[in-house]
């Protein structure tokens, strides 16, 4: 029963009104009810703490004589506003008690939010407006609060909340373009809508990519795209990746600047600026994968028992029009490592798949490297674009009676 009532009463205005009483004819007077008790300290701080009380206690408190501050709705959704504009809303506070209600202004959550009381003393049955003024700011959403202190023992602090959305002066949707798995020599495209919810018309005055080689072109955005963004004007921006982008993950940005067209007579045209994030991954012309290799190209054998040997099997994929990969030379450190490159299964060479076998032979000598040093394998290919592959090797060869060494110690 307690859990059911707790869930029900969380929906009510208990949090914003201190101790608000709800008539629950189906509950007994001994039913426990979850509330939030509000107290104001001598310094003006508002303290709220959860409290479980009996229903009879709430009924007794509600029936007690004295002033009572009542508010129909402490939260007002103002809807959309232009950025950096001022809004005003009046909340009505009523004295539904049988004694004089005293009101005084409390703190606000933001310097841009102000509250003003129409009256500070209310006789029973009287009401007054609490006027809240705020600035929308630049963020996509705003939420500001103002506190009114009262002498109502059941509701010593009233929190007035203003919330809404800010129209976008200049923005992009999506705000980030992701280029996944760009193959070598490939150019990829992605599009975004550059739009304004404020201006009836605009022109892009600058498009600048932080990373060299990126290109773009601009065209008018469709009415459907603008309607979905509640935009008044906008463009479709298509961004193209460079063909020679370096392999690996990348993060960059495109800076956009725009100017308002057809500004009201006598007013200077507004300008706006936004950043379009760009990220992705460019694939290597020759990639190596497998459980024993990490993202940095380090092959891990760990500690190999002398006389037993070990093998690592890796998969190589070549992304090039020429799939044939012939080995010209192999150089290893330590020199006892054996390296073999062969097509993966029967048709591997036709589709650019090869397996790389690295062996520690059974007759390998005891071997370990100084701390923070690694071995390496360098394979030279007879290929016009894939010249060389270099891998790091983490390896120790120890006799069974030797203590296990942790690499780097």
Cis ω for the linkage preceding 217 (within 30 of 0): no
The values of phi and psi at residue 110, to 5°, are: -145, 145
Residues 6+ apart with CB under 8 A from 243: 185, 186, 187, 213
For the domain made up of 286-398, give the CATH fold: Immunoglobulin-like (2.60.40)
Q: Comparing C-alpha atoms, which of 62, 133, 132, 121 is closest to residue 97? A: 62
Domain boundaries, the chain: 2-63, 69-166, 171-282, 286-398
Count of positions (residues) in the chain? 409
Tally of CA atoms within 13 A in the half-sphere of 186 that contains its CB: 17
pLDDT of residue 345: 87
Q: Comparing C-alpha atoms, which of 56, 62, 66 is closest to residue 18? A: 62
**CA dist list (Å): 391 to 289, 312, 388:** 12, 13, 10
* pTM greater than 0.75 (yes/no): no
Mean residue pLDDT of the chain comes to 85
pLDDT tens digits, 137-175: 877 788 989 999 999 988 888 889 999 888 888 999 999
Calculate the CA 5 to chain-centre distance: 36
Residue 20 has pLDDT above 70, yes or no: no
Residue 317 has pLDDT above 80, yes or no: yes
Q: Comparing C-alpha atoms, which of 166, 150, 40 is closest to residue 97? A: 150
CA distance 64 to 27: 21
Residue 25 has pLDDT above 50, yes or no: no
Secondary structure (3-state) at 227: helix
pLDDT tens digits, 69-78: 998 889 999 8
Mean pLDDT of 375-389: 95
Per-residue pLDDT band for 49 (boundaries 50, 70, 90) equals low
The residue among 43 and 359 whose pLDDT is bigger is 359
- Among 36-50, 270-284, 334-348, where is mean pLDDT lowest? 36-50
**Sign (positive/negative) of CA torsion 160, 164, 166, 171?**
positive
Q: What is the largest CA-CA distance in the chain?
A: 101
pLDDT tens digits, 113-142: 777 899 999 999 999 999 999 888 877 788
Superfamily of chain region 171-282: Immunoglobulins (2.60.40.10)
User: Which tokens in the block code for residue 271?
Assistant: 């300008």
Residues 6+ apart with CB under 8 A from 89: 76, 78, 131, 132, 162
pLDDT tens digits, 267-315: 899 999 999 999 999 999 999 999 999 989 999 998 999 999 999 999 9
pLDDT of residue 50: 72
- Percent of the chain clearing pLDDT 90 (strictly above): 59
The residue among 14 and 52 whose pLDDT is bigger is 52
The residue among 59 and 285 whose pLDDT is bigger is 285
- Among 53-57, 64-68, 402-406, where is mean pLDDT lowest? 402-406
Residue 15 has pLDDT above 60, yes or no: no
pLDDT tens digits, 197-236: 989 999 999 999 999 999 999 999 999 999 999 899 999 9
For residues 294, 305, 368 and 406, what is the CA-based torsion angle, rounded to 10 degrees? 60
Calculate the CA 380 to chain-centre distance: 44
Superfamily of chain region 69-166: Immunoglobulins (2.60.40.10)
pLDDT of residue 112: 64
Mean pLDDT of 38-62: 63
- Percent of the chain clearing pLDDT 70 (strictly above): 82
Per-residue pLDDT band for 32 (boundaries 50, 70, 90) equals low
Residue 403 has pLDDT above 60, yes or no: no
CB 90 within 8 A of CB 129: yes
pLDDT of residue 139: 77
CA distance 48 to 65: 23
Secondary structure (3-state) at 342: strand
Residue 400 has pLDDT above 70, yes or no: yes
Mean pLDDT of 177-195: 94
**E strand or H helix at 7, and its extent?**
helix 2-10
pLDDT of residue 263: 87
Residues 6+ apart with CB under 8 A from 322: 383, 384, 385
Mean pLDDT of 188-198: 95
User: Which tokens in the block code for residue 61?
Assistant: 């408190």
């Amino acid at each position: 029963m307690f859990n059911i009532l707790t869930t029900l009463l969380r929906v009510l205005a208990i949090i914003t009104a201190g101790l608000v009483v709800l008539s629950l004819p189906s509950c007994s007077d001994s039913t426990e009810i979850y509330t939030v008790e509000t107290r104001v300290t001598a310094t003006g701080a508002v303290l709220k703490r959860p409290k479980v009380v009996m229903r009879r206690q709430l009924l007794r408190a509600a029936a007690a004589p004295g002033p009572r501050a009542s508010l129909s709705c402490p939260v007002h959704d103002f809807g959309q506003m232009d950025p950096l504009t001022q809004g005003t809303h009046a909340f009505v506070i009523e004295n539904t008690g049988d004694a004089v209600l005293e009101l005084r202004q409390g703190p606000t959550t933001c310097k841009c939010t102000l509250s003003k009381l129409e009256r500070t003393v209310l006789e029973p049955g009287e009401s007054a407006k609490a006027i809240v003024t705020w600035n929308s700011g630049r963020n996509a959403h705003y939420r500001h609060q103002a506190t009114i202190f009262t002498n109502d023992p059941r509701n010593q602090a009233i929190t007035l909340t203003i919330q809404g959305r800010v129209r976008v002066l200049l923005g992009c949707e999506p705000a980030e373009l992701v280029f996944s798995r760009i193959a070598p020599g490939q150019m990829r495209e992605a599009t975004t809508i550059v739009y304004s919810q404020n201006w009836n018309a605009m022109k892009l005055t600058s498009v600048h990519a932080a990373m060299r080689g990126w290109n773009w072109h601009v065209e008018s955005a469709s009415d459907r795209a603008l309607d979905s963004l509640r935009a008044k004007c906008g463009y479709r921006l298509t961004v193209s990746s460079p063909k020679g982008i370096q392999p690996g993950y990348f993060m960059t940005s495109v800076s956009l600047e725009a100017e308002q067209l057809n500004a009201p007579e006598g007013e200077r045209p507004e300008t706006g600026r936004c950043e379009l994030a760009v990220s992705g991954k460019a694939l290597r012309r020759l990639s190596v994968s497998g459980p024993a290799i990490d993202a940095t190209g380090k092959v891990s054998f760990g500690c190999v028992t002398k006389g037993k040997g070990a093998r690592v099997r890796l998969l190589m994929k070549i992304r090039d029009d020429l799939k044939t990969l012939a080995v010209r030379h192999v150089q290893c450190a330590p020199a006892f490592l054996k390296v073999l490159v062969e097509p993966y299964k029967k048709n591997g060479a036709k589709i650019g798949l090869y397996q790389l076998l690295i062996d520690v032979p059974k007759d390998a000598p005891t071997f370990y490297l100084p701390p923070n040093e690694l071995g390496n394998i360098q394979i030279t290919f007879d290929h016009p674009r894939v010249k060389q592959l270099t891998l790091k090797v983490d390896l120790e060869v120890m006799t069974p009676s030797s203590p296990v060494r942790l690499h780097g110690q």
